Structure 1
Amino acid sequence: MKNQASGVIGDFNKAQQDAGITIFVPRDAAFARLPQSLKIQSLPADKKALVIEYHAIHSYYGADILKILVNPFEPTLATEVTNATSFRFSIAQFKGYVVIHTGIGKRSVVMETIYDRKPLAIYSVSDVLLPRDIFQ
């Protein structure tokens, strides 16, 4: 896993230096609520790395932009790493909240801004973002 982790860190650093990066960090309780069939710990290292990269977008979306953003097919860092058209999620607005939907489970709500200074934005989200490409 160490090599996979260093690859993820390298991908995050490269994205930040290019167009910026937006990262969605699940709260601790989100991991505890995952059903046993969706536990990330049981995945092989390469799949764990993809799940981590699935929580990041290779674009800087500051809080003002994120509040008005609507994108039904947002590519993630996992999309880029796999050179595929998969590993995408949708970002939308619902009742004044920014929500992310992966196609698995309920929508994750952006709860708060942790850090927002170009080229990096970090937000906490209510639920773990589960890529359909891994958890079908």
Structure 2
Amino acid sequence: MELKSAVLAVAALCLALALLLPRVALSQRLATADAPAPAPAPRHVDLAELLSLAGPYGTFLGYLTKTGVITTFQSQANDTAAGAPGVTVFAPEDSAFAAVGGGAALSNLTADQLRTLMLCHGVPRYHPLSSFSALAASGPAPTFAGGQQYAVNVTDAAGTVRIQSGWATAKLVSSVYSTSPVAVYALNRVLLPEQIFPTAPKVAPVPAPAPAPVHGDKANDGAPGAGEHGASDVKSSSCRVGAGRLLAILAVMRV
């Protein structure tokens, strides 16, 4: 009798477990489905690779590498923690470096001066293009060089952004990359702080854009000899008309 009771108790326990386990599994699946998906891992931007592939920034990248400033910028770019300020890099084009005394002005700098100059081309905060109007109104922006004397002034006039530092006013010509926390913008000038350059270096003027080609009839409007050719045609036509009238008068007189 006791054996029969034990068997019945075990059977009842198995039945209860069979009914309970599917509900537990379903609850676990629902809890998993409701849980938010994990945030994607932050994407680190390789600044050296970006500048190497993006365009004419080889001279700038060479100076960044030579001075070790690329490591400073890259470390700031890699900080993707919540609340990290990010980084903004102003990258002068190769032609901008060639325009500064044919490149000789920079070759005469000491190692410390060259490093400071490169640090002046980075701001330790991410600034998208949409923020430049507010940045221009807020006053000078501090750079990695540190100190107010190395800050840059930003102006935004009708969408044309310029960065001013010491002897140079550079125009922001394009956005190379801009996704938080990294922004890289192309400049047509090298920034030249007065603390590094006591006197203004000789800088070649920015070439004027080529004039647009003229098409159609307008191409002949200012062509040399165009007016003379037209006057000649009018004059010969007038002579032909005058000769015709003279012949008609002589014919009438003979009659």
Change (3 A) 1:120 1:2: closer
Contact kept? 2:90, 2:122, Cα under 8 Å: yes
1:94 has 2:153 as partner? no
Contact kept? 1:4, 1:46, Cα under 8 Å: no
1:29 has 2:106 as partner? no
Change (3 A) 1:28 1:74: same
- Name the aligned partner's letter for residue 98 of structure 1: V
Secondary structure in 1 matching 2:130: helix
Residue 10 of structure 2 corresponds to none
Residue 75 of structure 2 corresponds to 14
State which structure, 1 or 2, has the greater radius of gyration over its C-alpha atoms.
2
Residue 134 of structure 1 corresponds to 196
Contact kept? 1:38, 1:135, Cα under 8 Å: no
Tell me the distance in 1 between the aligned counterparts of 2:167 and 2:65.
28
Deviation at 1:96, TM superposition (A): 2.5
- Name the aligned partner's letter for residue 56 of structure 1: G
Cα-to-partner distance string for 1:49-71 (whole Å, 9 max, x where unaligned): 11111000001001222355314
Percent identity, aligned pairs only? 26
Cα-to-partner distance string for 1:65-89 (whole Å, 9 max, x where unaligned): 235531432110011xxxx332111
Give the TM-score taking structure 2 as reference length.
Answer: 0.46
Q: Which runs of 5+ in 1 are unaligned?
A: none
Residues 1-136 of structure 1 aligned to structure 2 (within 5 Å): 5-6=67-68, 8-16=69-77, 17=79, 18-35=84-101, 39-70=105-136, 71-79=138-146, 84-105=147-168, 107-136=169-198
Tell me the distance in 2 between the aligned counterparts of 1:110 and 1:44.
28
Equivalenced residue count is 130
> Which deviates more, 12-21 or 29-38?
29-38
Change (3 A) 1:2 1:65: closer
Which structure is higher in strand share?
1
Secondary structure in 2 matching 1:74: coil
Which structure is higher in helix share?
2
Point out which structure has higher relative CO (alpha carbons under 8 A, 6+ apart). 1
> Which deviates more, 69-78 or 29-38?
29-38
- Name the aligned partner's letter for residue 45 of structure 1: A
Q: Which runs of 5+ in 2 are unaligned?
A: 1-62, 199-255
